[in-house]
């Protein structure tokens, strides 16, 4: 393995492997079929990227997410490794050119989605390449029992016909025994060597708190915890609101979600990595490419959708093997809200058919017709037009995409454009009469050239930064200039592009995939139920619950989760004694201040404060502060 060590030192600056990376790499080099189950932080990518650099030819990587593909390709390029992918929407000539570059340009990696693999042209071009081996990333997607089942993954076996001698490595971070067996069968693996790393993380404390005021709890946590942190929430608006709240309370934070521009994402990420803003408030879009070892706490402000999602996100804490915390905040409303949210988002098969049919009506596509180009799509407009919830529409689009009926691509990063209609002279007079827009007009002219001759693409975020304001304010300025006929402002109005992959056949299309769609919906419901059961089980060690979920039979308690700590918790008498001792020491304190100093639940402290008042041992003043009588 000397060569493998040299590769990992040269390109990744690591001096050794973590178990069982070395054994996996050796198995791949010796042309074995391999299944690798490595929980988040286990270094899955190294397991196929290192042997690919040691073997002749191109490693074909099958990966389910465009964003994941882009992230890994960019990461390899930054290390000086030749890697590429097939862009969505690429035409035949572009694909032919790309494969010529791969064949004659000494490329080591070709990343491709399972849907793209179904193209006869791409299949033919793959046959002409020297493929070193195939890596199937996020391999749990191949199983209908996995948490993100993708029927298109079932078709990966076409490679057995195209390149029959090639061997496979299937990688996943979340799979139980049933899913692993499904992966082996579906990929037709030949006597695969299976590597499983335990999900047990001795340094990670899973702690679930029931609190009424989650924002207050965030403050209390960050007063005590000074390490880099991630706060996961379930909506884009919340990322902004909570980051603003934390900054207003002198906790430096950034926010991150899928709707930000590339520049905004990079800026937020850099600020977090450099610890200029050590707290990141994010949706689950913040996950790929995170390799920050000293994250000390991951907080779930909202309830995740499954144990698999929770484990992947929580596992971003404590990668340096120092004690870290995975904290989930919940209250009584969260459970009912989660059940209600599931009803709003998970469609029935009938609703899938209805929304699918309305999509064709929306774009005026006739029976038997398939549009040549991708079409701009606005979720809100479509939902309002036909009376669907936006969440349900989004779920159906994902189901249709997963079943290779449509291809969807976010267009959040597409650029608006402007062109000036007025002459420089008239613009000067307009600026004098509209003094509040004068500085903005000057900023536009300094930032972009050719504005009077042609349409120029602009970046509202960049303009906002230069003018020390918000993107929304910049859009307001541009809309006013357009209204006053100073410019023509072509604002990007769609949030998604849809490409239809099959001709319109309405219900016949869905009926072909009805079994898979129904199974997917049932699995989503089960995953949600399993997670709610997990967070409501306050009698079994959290770590044992997680291990059992993934078929690791364990009875060894972690000793550091909220359930284990509650078993060790100081008795009632000592809680009261500690409250009295603290007030003696600090003077009059509010319940919130007491909670910040003592390591007990908010609920327990309030119970004992009421008891101490009842026992006439303490009193409360007009400022709602407790003091010794």
For the chain, give every domain's residue range: 2-196, 204-330+539-561, 339-412+495-526, 416-490, 569-628
Query: Residue 348 — pLDDT band, cuts 50, 70, 90?
Result: very high
Scanning 249-331, the segments in alpha helix (DSSP H) are 262-273, 307-314
Give residue 303's pLDDT: 93
On average, the pLDDT of the chain sits at: 88
pLDDT at 290 over 80: no
Q: Which residue has the tokens 């949706």?
A: 283
Higher-confidence position of 143 and 274 = 274
User: pTM to 2 decimals?
Assistant: 0.72
Per-residue pLDDT averaged across 170-174, rounded? 91
Give residue 166's pLDDT: 93
CATH of domain 339-412+495-526: 1.10.10.10
Compute φ and ψ for 473, nearest 5 degrees. Answer: -65, -40
Per-residue pLDDT averaged across 224-241, rounded? 93
Give residue 361's pLDDT: 93
Among 343-352, 375-384, 568-577, where is mean pLDDT lowest? 568-577
Per-residue pLDDT averaged across 264-291, rounded? 88
Percent of the chain with pLDDT over 90: 46
Query: Residue 238 — pLDDT band, cuts 50, 70, 90?
Result: very high
Q: Which two tokens stand for residue 36?
A: 């690798």
Give residue 412's pLDDT: 55
DSSP 72-109: HHHHHHHTT--EEE--TT--HHHHHHHHHHHHHTT--E
Per-residue pLDDT averaged across 153-182, rounded? 91
Percent of the chain with pLDDT over 70: 96
Let me know if domain 569-628 sits in CATH 1.10.10.10: yes
Among 40-49, 324-333, 492-501, 620-629, where is mean pLDDT lowest? 492-501
Give residue 573's pLDDT: 52
Per-residue pLDDT averaged across 439-459, rounded? 88
Superfamily of structural domain 2-196: P-loop containing nucleotide triphosphate hydrolases (3.40.50.300)
N-terminal to C-terminal alpha carbon distance within the chain = 73
DSSP 255-266: EE-TTS-HHHHH
Look at residue 134 and give its three-state secondary structure.
strand
Give residue 414's pLDDT: 65
Query: Residue 223 — pLDDT band, cuts 50, 70, 90?
Result: very high
Q: What is the pLDDT of residues 463-480, one digit of tens each?
A: 887 888 877 788 889 999
pLDDT at 492 over 90: no
Query: Residue 188 — pLDDT band, cuts 50, 70, 90?
Result: very high
Q: What is the pLDDT of residues 304-330, one digit of tens each?
A: 989 988 998 999 999 888 999 999 999
pLDDT at 410 over 80: no
Query: Would 204-330+539-561 and 569-628 be classified into the same CATH topology?
Result: no
Give residue 69's pLDDT: 85
Q: What is the pLDDT of residues 28-75, one digit of tens each?
A: 999 999 999 998 776 889 999 999 999 999 999 999 877 778 888 988
Per-residue pLDDT averaged across 519-537, rounded? 90
117-144 b/e (C-beta count within 10 Å ≥ 16 → b): beeeebeebbeebebbbbbbbbbbbbbb
Q: Could you say which of 3.40.50.10440, 3.30.2130.10, 3.40.50.720, 3.40.50.300 is the CATH number of the domain covering 204-330+539-561?
A: 3.40.50.300
Among 221-225, 411-415, 532-536, where is mean pLDDT lowest? 411-415
Residue 463: partners with Cβ closer than 8 Å, 6 or more residues away = 440, 443, 444, 447, 474
Give residue 411's pLDDT: 61
Query: Residue 230 — pLDDT band, cuts 50, 70, 90?
Result: very high
Residue 376: partners with Cβ closer than 8 Å, 6 or more residues away = 411, 493, 494, 496, 497
Give residue 531's pLDDT: 94
Query: Residue 83 — pLDDT band, cuts 50, 70, 90?
Result: very high
Give residue 219's pLDDT: 94
Per-residue pLDDT averaged across 372-399, rounded? 88
Best-predicted range by mean pLDDT (79-93, 156-170, 457-471, 608-622):
156-170
Query: Residue 415 — pLDDT band, cuts 50, 70, 90?
Result: confident
Query: Residue 567 — pLDDT band, cuts 50, 70, 90?
Result: confident
- Residue 151 to residues 6, 513, 517, 613, 622, Cα–Cα distance (Å): 39, 9, 9, 62, 64
Rounded CA Rg of the chain: 28
Residue 17: partners with Cβ closer than 8 Å, 6 or more residues away = 4, 5, 8, 25, 43, 46
pLDDT at 384 over 80: yes
Higher-confidence position of 262 and 295 = 295
pLDDT at 381 over 80: yes
Query: Residue 145 — pLDDT band, cuts 50, 70, 90?
Result: confident
- Residue 339 to residues 283, 344, 397, Cα–Cα distance (Å): 20, 9, 21
pLDDT at 267 over 60: yes
């Amino acid at each position: 393995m000397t060569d493998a060590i040299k590769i990992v030192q040269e390109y990744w600056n690591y001096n050794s492997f973590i178990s069982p990376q070395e054994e996996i790499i050796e198995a791949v080099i010796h042309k074995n079929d391999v299944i690798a189950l490595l929980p988040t932080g286990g270094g899955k990518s190294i397991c196929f990227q290192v042997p690919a650099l040691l073997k002749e030819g191109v490693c074909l990587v099958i990966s389910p997410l465009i964003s994941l593909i882009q992230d890994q390709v960019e990461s390899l390029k930054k290390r000086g490794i030749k890697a590429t992918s097939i862009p969505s929407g690429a035409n035949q000539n572009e694909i032919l050119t790309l494969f010529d570059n791969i064949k004659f340009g000494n490329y080591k990696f070709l990343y491709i989605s399972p849907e793209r693999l179904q193209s006869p042209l791409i299949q033919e071009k793959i046959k002409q390449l020297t493929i070193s081996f195939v890596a199937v990333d996020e391999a749990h997607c191949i199983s209908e029992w996995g948490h993100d089942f993708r029927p298109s993954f079932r078709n990966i076996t076409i490679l057995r016909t195209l390149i029959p001698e090639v061997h496979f490595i299937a990688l996943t971070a979340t799979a139980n025994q049933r899913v692993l067996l499904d992966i082996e069968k579906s990929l037709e693996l030949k006597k695969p060597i299976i590597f499983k790393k335990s999900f047990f993380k001795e340094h990670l404390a899973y702690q679930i708190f029931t609190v009424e005021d989650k924002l207050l709890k965030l403050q209390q946590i960050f007063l005590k915890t000074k390490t880099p942190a991630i706060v996961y929430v379930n909506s884009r608006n919340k990322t902004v609101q909570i980051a603003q709240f934390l900054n207003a309370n002198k906790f430096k934070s950034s926010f991150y979600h899928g709707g930000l521009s590339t520049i905004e994402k990079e800026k937020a990420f850099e600020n977090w990595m450099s610890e200029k803003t050590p707290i990141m408030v994010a949706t689950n879009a913040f996950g790929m490419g995170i390799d920050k070892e000293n994250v000390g706490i991951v907080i779930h402000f909202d309830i995740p959708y499954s144990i698999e999602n929770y484990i992947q996100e929580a596992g971003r804490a404590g990668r340096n093997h120092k004690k870290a915390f995975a904290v989930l905040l919940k209250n009584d409303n969260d459970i009912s809200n989660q059940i209600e949210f599931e009803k709003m988002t998970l469609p029935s098969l009938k609703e899938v058919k209805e929304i699918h049919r309305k999509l064709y009506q929306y774009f005026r596509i006739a029976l038997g017709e398939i549009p040549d180009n991708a079409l701009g799509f606005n979720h809100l407009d479509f939902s309002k037009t036909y009376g669907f919830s936006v969440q349900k529409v989004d779920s159906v689009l994902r189901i249709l995409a997963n079943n290779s009926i449509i291809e969807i691509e976010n267009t959040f990063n597409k650029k608006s454009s402007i062109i000036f209609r007025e002459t420089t002279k008239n613009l000067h007079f307009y600026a004098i009469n509209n003094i509040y827009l004068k500085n903005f007009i000057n900023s536009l002219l300094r930032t972009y050239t050719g504005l009077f001759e042609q349409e120029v693409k602009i970046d509202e975020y960049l303009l906002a930064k230069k003018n020390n304001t918000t993107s929304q304010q910049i859009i307001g300025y541009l809309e006013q200039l357009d209204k006053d006929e100073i410019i023509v402002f072509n604002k990007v109005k769609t949030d998604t592009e849809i490409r239809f992959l099959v001709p319109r056949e309405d219900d016949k299309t869905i009926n072909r995939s009805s079994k898979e769609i129904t199974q997917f919906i049932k699995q989503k419901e089960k995953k949600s139920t399993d997670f709610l059961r997990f967070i409501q089980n306050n009698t079994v060690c959290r770590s044992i619950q997680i291990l059992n979920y993934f078929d690791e039979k364990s009875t060894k308690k972690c000793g550091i989760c909220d359930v284990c700590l509650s078993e060790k918790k100081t008795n009632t008498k000592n809680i009261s004694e500690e409250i009295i001792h603290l007030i003696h020491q600090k003077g009059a304190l509010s319940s919130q201040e007491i909670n910040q100093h003592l390591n007990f639940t908010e609920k327990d402290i309030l119970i004992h404060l009421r008891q101490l008042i009842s026992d006439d041992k303490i009193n409360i003043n007009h400022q709602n502060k407790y003091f010794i009588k």
